[in-house]
Amino acid sequence: MPSEKPTGNSTEDAVRNAPENPLSGVDLRQDRRQWLKTSATMIGASLLPATAIAGETAPQAEAKPAAAAASEGKSAARFFTPAQHALVEELTETIIPEDSHSGGAKAAKVADTIDQYLRETYDESDKAVWREGLRLIDLMSQHYNGKTFVNASPEERVAMLTVLSENSQLTELTEVKFFNSLKELTVGCYYTSKIGIHDDLQYKGNRVIQEYVGCDDQDAAKA
């Protein structure tokens, strides 16, 4: 896990290499062909059963309880689905974790702030990058760790995000573009939150100076 929090001046410090990172030096461009191919195979294999199940359960689906419909309407006000929100919480907490000094991204509700930004932005391409990026993150985690990102260990999470950080120049890849946006928004949202400003940076706000001491160096004062 990162040993200290990043600063707003250096988002590259947001994800630090774990000791003996098992994924260090992997060829992201080459590897992604394999995990995208695996994903396509899995989706194709699941189409027939899914269609059959959908046909069998269609009558029950028509009669949705009112409570479920109300719940869907409430969640529609958010950009992220519950599963996506949980994933974003773990991603942001991996970048800015809780430590003995202050709370991390979860405590600062960074995922909620990002959700609000994406919900209100008019940039549809940004929204598309986030939707696809979250999907690709889980595909990567399945490929490298054999499990979803949420279920991965802290060390596995850091190792995987380090791969994206080391390839941050490959912005033609959606997962890299997403990760760059994730880092920027995580740091920005955290350090404009109460926890980031007051607990981590220990900003005390504007204070009245009771007495102006002046310069102790008399020679400098004369100059």
Determine the Cα–Cα distance for residues 89 and 107; give it in Å rounded to an integer. 10
What is the pTM assigned to this prediction? 0.68
Burial class (CB in 10 A: 0-12, 13-18, 19+), 215: exposed
Average pLDDT over residues 53-77: 47
Q: Taking the CA atoms of 58, 59, 65 and 69 in sequence, report the sign of the dihedral they define.
A: positive
Q: Across-strand partners of 121?
A: none
- pLDDT (tens digit, 9 = 90+) per residue, 101-154? 888 899 999 999 999 999 999 999 999 999 999 999 999 999 889 999 999 999
Kindly indicate the confidence band of residue 174, based on its pLDDT and cuts at 50, 70 and 90.
very high
**Better-scored residue on pLDDT, 40 or 89:** 89
Q: Identify the top-confidence range among 1-5, 107-111, 197-201.
A: 107-111
